[in-house]
Amino acid sequence: MFKLYHSTTTATQIGFDNGRERGVFLDRERSGKTDFSNSFPRRATANREIMEKTIRFQIYMDVTAMELFVDSGLTCMTALFYPDRPYTQVQIRHHGSGTLTLASATVQGLKPMSDVK
């Protein structure tokens, strides 16, 4: 599970729950401002199309938007979120039994459009 956050009370979580039928999830229940709609703060789920042992996540984030690509885009999700201030931390956790092997992780910052010449 990937947790993107700035405090213990505000976070967006992304991951794969092997014990559920629709295992890929994007949870914005505690993502920040959510009270403008009853259907906004929820855990969205999707099927993982292949069941290989290795799962690959690609996450692209902006200040209030996220794109998730699982297994080279076979499963995709998009979400908006409205934190009270930008996320500054990333946590990677494993809740299941067995071992988590992190093959690689890269975090890259992008330049704001005002800095692009």
pTM metric for this prediction: 0.81
- pLDDT tens-digit readout, 1-29: 899 898 888 999 999 987 777 889 999 99
**Average confidence score pLDDT of the chain:** 85
Total domains present in the chain:
1
pLDDT at position 77? 95
- pLDDT tens-digit readout, 61-99: 888 899 999 999 999 999 999 999 888 888 888 766 566
Its domain, for residue 110, covers 2-115
In the sheet with 65-70, reading across from the earlier edge strand, the strands are 57-61, 65-70, 75-80
Query: How distant is the alpha carbon of residue 52 from its chain centre?
Result: 20
pLDDT at position 7? 85
Q: How far apart are the first and last CA of the chain?
A: 36
pLDDT at position 71? 92
Question: What's 52's domain CATH number?
Answer: 2.60.120.560
Contact 69, 57 (CB under 8 A): yes
Rounded Cα distance, 79 and 66, in Å: 5
Query: How distant is the alpha carbon of residue 56 from its chain centre?
Result: 12
